[in-house]
């Protein structure tokens, strides 16, 4: 027995402790800022804070909402983690959610949806559609060098308009003027795990996705290549890895996850039908989950638990007090800023240490801009 694995393990724990400490530190700072904002703006600040921090646990129904959010944030976090690990900045999860939801809707509202195959076929169609939508910016970048950030963002808007259009004109609606489709047949809606809550198959799918993504990234040669490409694309290329193939496949796989999220939205207990603008910006919040989890699949659900709790707390605060739920956007932004920067808890002292910090950044920034 060599000492090598032992060293490896202890350094791994050290890294983990540092990452957890950094994430918790960012959370504390962000919450403090949010508290100050609430104190300054609310007429009953302490009641608002109390709702934010305790109410998601108050009833089975709110716990159900929380768990449903965990499932969705986990999947979007995984989707972003996959592309971030390949050092791609594809931002297309939102669009993939919409095309995935559309595909699932067409299956669910077809005769197939009423049969036993409603759920599996719906999910498969959604994942295929999402994968295709993730593949597009990937291939455009690999073949033509088209910037994947811009193209994936444009595809998001196109998907949203497509969804609006199809719901308005092509999909069956309960009555004229409403912007939702008919309810799906029961066979196409995920069954609940706990009666009268929104806890449904989604959370199981999310956990399965965590295991699958972890296995793919850390136990397959594809995952090793993907992480190598993300670490240093040129080195990976020199060692015979087809970097462009890995990039495109990572974005396609991430797209499949985005499509899965789309089917979780429309086939889950939340809707059971397709509504325009159904995802409410949730897909983008996977950025936060992926960053705080440092793109590690096993850390993603843990981050999702905390963040989903905050999200639900903010929603309840919106309903029960005078503080709008959007205050959570401030918390989100601060957490992303603090965690993605190499800040540590003593960063305030570093602010005043001017000279050394100035020299090392250009290389990193230059790399990011390309």
Exactly one of 24, 36, 333, 345 binds other proteins (CB under 8 A); that residue is: 333
Exactly one of 50, 164, 180, 192 binds other proteins (CB under 8 A); that residue is: 164
Exactly one of 76, 96, 105, 151 binds other proteins (CB under 8 A); that residue is: 151
Q: Answer yes or no whether residue 99 interacts with other proteins by CB under 8 A.
A: no
Residue 88 has, within 13 A of its CA and on its CB side, a CA count of: 41
Number of residues that bind other proteins (CB under 8 A): 58
For residues 1 and 368, which CB has a smaller minimum distance to other proteins in the complex? 368
Q: Answer yes or no whether residue 150 interacts with other proteins by CB under 8 A.
A: yes
For residues 189 and 236, which CB has a smaller minimum distance to other proteins in the complex? 236
Q: Are 297 and 254 in contact (CB under 8 A)?
A: no
Exactly one of 2, 3, 169, 175 binds other proteins (CB under 8 A); that residue is: 169
Closest CA to 255 of 128, 153, 358, 65: 128
Cβ at position 242, least distance to other proteins in Å: 16
For residues 1 and 351, which CB has a smaller minimum distance to other proteins in the complex? 351
Exactly one of 65, 67, 78, 91 binds other proteins (CB under 8 A); that residue is: 91
Burial class (CB in 10 A: 0-12, 13-18, 19+), 216: middle
| Residue written as token pair 């609940």 | 192
For residues 180 and 192, which CB has a smaller minimum distance to other proteins in the complex? 180
Cβ at position 217, least distance to other proteins in Å: 20
Cβ at position 186, least distance to other proteins in Å: 31
Exactly one of 153, 179, 216, 305 binds other proteins (CB under 8 A); that residue is: 153
Number of residues assigned to the chain:
370
Distance CA 142, CA 167 (A): 33
Q: Are 285 and 69 in contact (CB under 8 A)?
A: no
Q: Answer yes or no whether residue 284 interacts with other proteins by CB under 8 A.
A: yes
Closest CA to 284 of 176, 160, 180, 367: 160
Cβ at position 142, least distance to other proteins in Å: 11
Cβ at position 338, least distance to other proteins in Å: 8
Q: Answer yes or no whether residue 19 interacts with other proteins by CB under 8 A.
A: no
- State residue 341 phi and psi, 5-degree precision: -85, 160
Exactly one of 165, 215, 218, 238 binds other proteins (CB under 8 A); that residue is: 165
Taking residue 48's Cβ as centre, other Cβ atoms within 10 Å add up to 25
| Residue written as token pair 């809606």 | 189
Query: For residue 122, what are the contacts with CB-CB under 8 A and spacing of at least 6?
Result: 103, 104, 107, 108, 113, 188, 263, 267
Cβ at position 89, least distance to other proteins in Å: 5
- State residue 192 phi and psi, 5-degree precision: -75, 150
Distance CA 55, CA 243 (A): 48
| Contact residues: other proteins, CB under 8 A | 41, 89, 91, 140, 144-147, 149-151, 153-155, 157-158, 161-162, 164-165, 168-169, 281, 284-285, 287-288, 291, 322, 324, 326-330, 332-334, 336-337, 340-343, 347, 351, 357-366, 368-369
């Amino acid at each position: 027995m060599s000492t090598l694995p032992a060293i490896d393990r202890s350094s791994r724990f050290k890294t983990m402790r540092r990452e957890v400490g950094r994430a918790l530190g960012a959370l504390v700072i962000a919450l403090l800022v949010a508290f100050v904002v609430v104190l300054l703006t609310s007429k009953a600040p302490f009641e608002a804070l109390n709702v934010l921090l305790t109410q998601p646990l108050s009833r089975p129904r709110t716990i159900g909402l929380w768990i449903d959010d965990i499932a969705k944030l986990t999947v979007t976090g995984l989707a972003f983690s996959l592309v971030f690990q390949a050092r791609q900045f594809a931002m297309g999860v939102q669009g993939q959610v919409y095309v995935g939801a559309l595909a699932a809707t067409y299956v669910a509202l077809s005769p197939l949806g009423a049969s036993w195959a409603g759920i599996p076929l719906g999910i498969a169609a959604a994942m295929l559609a999402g994968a295709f939508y993730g593949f597009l910016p990937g291939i455009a970048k690999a073949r033509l060098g088209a910037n994947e950030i811009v193209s994936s963002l444009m595809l998001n808007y196109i998907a949203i308009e497509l969804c609006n259009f199809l719901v308005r004109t092509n999909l069956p609606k309960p009555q004229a003027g409403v912007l939702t489709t008919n309810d799906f047949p029961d066979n196409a809606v995920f069954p609940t795990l706990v009666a009268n809550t929104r806890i449904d198959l989604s959370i199981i799918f999310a956990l399965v996705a965590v295991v699958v993504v972890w296995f793919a990234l850390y136990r397959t040669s594809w995952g090793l290549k993907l992480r190598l490409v993300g670490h240093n694309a040129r080195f990976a290329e020199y060692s015979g890895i087809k970097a462009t193939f890995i990039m495109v496949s990572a974005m396609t796989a991430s797209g499949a996850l985005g499509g899965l999220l789309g089917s979780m939205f429309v086939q889950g207990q939340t809707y059971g039908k397709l509504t325009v603008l159904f995802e409410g910006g949730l897909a983008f919040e996977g950025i936060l989950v992926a960053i705080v989890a440092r793109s590690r699949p096993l850390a993603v659900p843990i981050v999702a638990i905390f963040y989903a709790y905050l999200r639900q707390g903010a929603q309840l605060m919106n309903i029960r007090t005078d503080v709008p739920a959007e205050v959570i956007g401030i918390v989100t932004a601060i957490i992303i800023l603090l965690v993605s920067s190499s800040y540590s808890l003593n960063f305030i002292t570093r602010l005043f240490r001017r000279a050394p910090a100035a020299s090392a950044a250009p290389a990193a920034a230059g790399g990011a801009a390309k």
